[in-house]
A and B are shown apart, each in its own frame.
Chain A
Amino acid sequence: MSVRRVCQAVFWSFFGVRKGRDLESDAAHIKPVHIVLAGMLGAVIFVVSLIVLVSWITH
């Protein structure tokens, strides 16, 4: 459950939106290190998927 939680939290943070209630449970259940790692992983996924998208557009 914890991996999913972290991924959810990071996904919503890229969008910049998070419910206060979810945030409190995030704060209680997730370690900051996990957030940082997931955030960087999220950044990599973000870059790779954009690059795939634009290479597909320009093939």
Chain B
Amino acid sequence: MQAHALEHEHGHGAPSGLMRWVTTTNHKDIGTLYLWFAAVMFLLAGSMAMAIRAELFQPGLQLVSPDFFNQLTTLHGLIMVFGVIMPAMTGFANWQVPLMIGAPDMAFPRMNNWSFWILPAAAILLVISLFLPGGAAAAGWTLYPPLFIQGGISYDLTIFAIHILGASSIMGSLNIITTILNMRAPGMTLMKMPLFVWTWLITAFLLIAVMPVLAGAVTMLLTDRNFDTHFFNAAGGGDPVLFQHVFWFFGHPEVYILILPAFGIVSQIIPTFARKPLFGYASMVYATASIAILSFLVWAHHMFTVGMPAVGQLYFMYATMLIAVPTGVKVFNWVATMWRGSLTFETPMLFAIAFVALFTIGGFTGLVLAMAPVDIQLHDTYYVVAHFHYVLVSGALFAIYAGVYYWLPKWTGHMYNETLGKWHFWLSMISFNVLFFPQHFLGLAGMPRRIPDYAVQFTEFNMISSIGGFVFGASQILMLIVVLQCIRGGRKAEAKPWEGAQGLEWTVPSPAPYHTFETPPVVK
């Protein structure tokens, strides 16, 4: 559909076919590339999850060797974080930020092309590492030494892949910040920006602050592995715990990098389908900013079990609990937005409501884990796995789904199939809970994470969880079908397909023409 728009508007002969995608500097093309990349990576990392759940269906070792199991959990985590959620959010930013602030494109279109096109290189490194001697990295997505220092060549490839992913994120962030600060349409003051733009602006600053930290951490791993340094080697005077500090100084802000754009998406969708303006726009902006700052001050809640003075434990415990306050304010505002609104429940709204409900559960289990004495029992158990899947799957991923359904009419010019969308929602919603809720019980009962085998008393809950997992996995095929159908045809979408929608993106036709806002709109 865009190829045809291209012919009409591009007098200066842009390349067609494959070269169009390789050389493109158009924010919509690049947004589409990011989103498809995320989709492909989702299928890859998702099939790894299916293998993990199949192995865990019963106690004992059935399908995969323990070492391969650990490779699967490592790659599943790394790819889901860096290859799915982050690129999908960047895809949204590329498509929506210029449309929402009335800019013709991103500030640095060529750098934008480059930030996308180095991603497949990183993905290929991770995939080929599976086939190298010794298999892929198996030390967990957290890359902890000493295990990470002992592995083979694929560990170096993993480090390289992370460097590339980090470079891509930094370039993407520079682009997003510059676009938002310099290219807003006349009248679009900062405090009039849609919340999605705000959350991405703050996320981009977080990315610039912490990706270099991660790069430093993995570079130290690299030199420890290959050049005889001893940053993390106790025998050489180093300390493996240092790695954990550096990693989590990156890692905790990183979890907010994953969730803040999701907050933004949900804050666009709920007002649309509640037909009311967002409750407490100002406090939402402030809450986002404070979450960003506080996220740098709580990292050692991931390390309560490494041994820490009581003062340290108490500090990180209190600080972590306080960060939940601005998060709670946000949940309150979403609920207040829905309060007495005239609600309708199209698929984007269903996913957004599920987000509010289930993300809150994940927030509460986070608070449970924030209590140092409790965490000492629960650390490295399935309770942690349940916690972060509630915030990342029913949080970040559901927000991505909500956003895709919400903006698909704008992107493709067609309405998606609402019936299939609802099926996708209900199947995902139910199977997600069947998959992850029992994992709280497993964790409380003491089942460790990252283990291919378990004691027999854990069997029932693992079976339930695996069944939920298979249904969840299968349901995601529906999403693919809905999207492909919608691209190929369907009821024509109006410029503003949602009655209650607000914002500049709905003032351009659907599908959005290849070039938009070449003359900036004026915002009153």
Interface residues of A (CB under 8 A from B): 9, 12-20, 22-24, 27, 32, 39-40, 42-43, 46-47, 50-51, 53-55, 57-58
Chain B residues in contact with chain A, CB under 8 A?
189-191, 280-283, 285-287, 289-291, 293-294, 296-297, 310-311, 314-315, 318-319, 325-330
Chain A nearest Cβ from B209, distance in angstroms? 12
Q: How many A-B residue pairs have CB under 8 A?
A: 79
Contact B311 A54 (CB under 8 A): yes
Main secondary structure of the interface of B (DSSP, over half): helix
Query: A15 to B189, alpha carbons, bound, how many Å?
Result: 24
Min CB–CB distance A50 → chain B (angstroms)? 5
Contacts of B281 in A (CB 8 A): 20
Starting from the known contacts A16-B290, A23-B282, 10 additional A-B residue pairs (CB-CB under 8 Å) come to A12-B286, A13-B290, A16-B283, A17-B287, A17-B329, A39-B290, A47-B315, A50-B319, A55-B311, A57-B314
Instruction: Return chain A residues, CB-CB under 8 Å to B285.
Output: 18, 23
Nearest CB of A to B324, in Å:
10
Contact A50 B315, CB 8 Å, known A14-B294, A27-B191, A43-B297: yes
- Report Cα–Cα, A14/B324, bound state, in Å: 11
Interchain CB contact under 8 A, B318 and A50: yes
Q: CA A34 – CA B191 in complex, angstroms? A: 16
Please indicate the chain A residues that have their CB under 8 angstroms from the CB of B290 in the complex.
13-16, 39
Of the A-B pairs whose beta carbons lie under 8 Å apart in the complex, a sample of 23, sorted by A's number, is A9-B286, A12-B286, A14-B294, A15-B329, A16-B287, A16-B290, A16-B291, A16-B326, A17-B286, A17-B329, A18-B282, A23-B282, A27-B191, A39-B289, A42-B293, A43-B294, A43-B296, A43-B297, A46-B297, A47-B297, A47-B315, A50-B318, A58-B311
Q: Which residues of B contact A18 (CB under 8 A)?
A: 282-283, 285-286
Give min CB distance, A35 to chain B, whole Å: 8
Residues of B within 8 A of A20 (CB): 280-282
Given A16-B287, A43-B293, is A27 in contact with B329 using a C-beta cutoff of 8 Å?
no
**Which chain B residue shows the least CB distance to A55?**
B311
When C-beta atoms are compared, the residue in chain B nearest to A53 turns out to be B318
The answer on a CB contact under 8 Å between B189 and A27 is yes
> How far, in angstroms, from A43 to B292 measured CA to CA in the complex?
11
Contacts of A43 in B (CB 8 A): 293-294, 296-297
Residues from chain B with Cβ under 8 Å of A51 in the complex: 311, 315
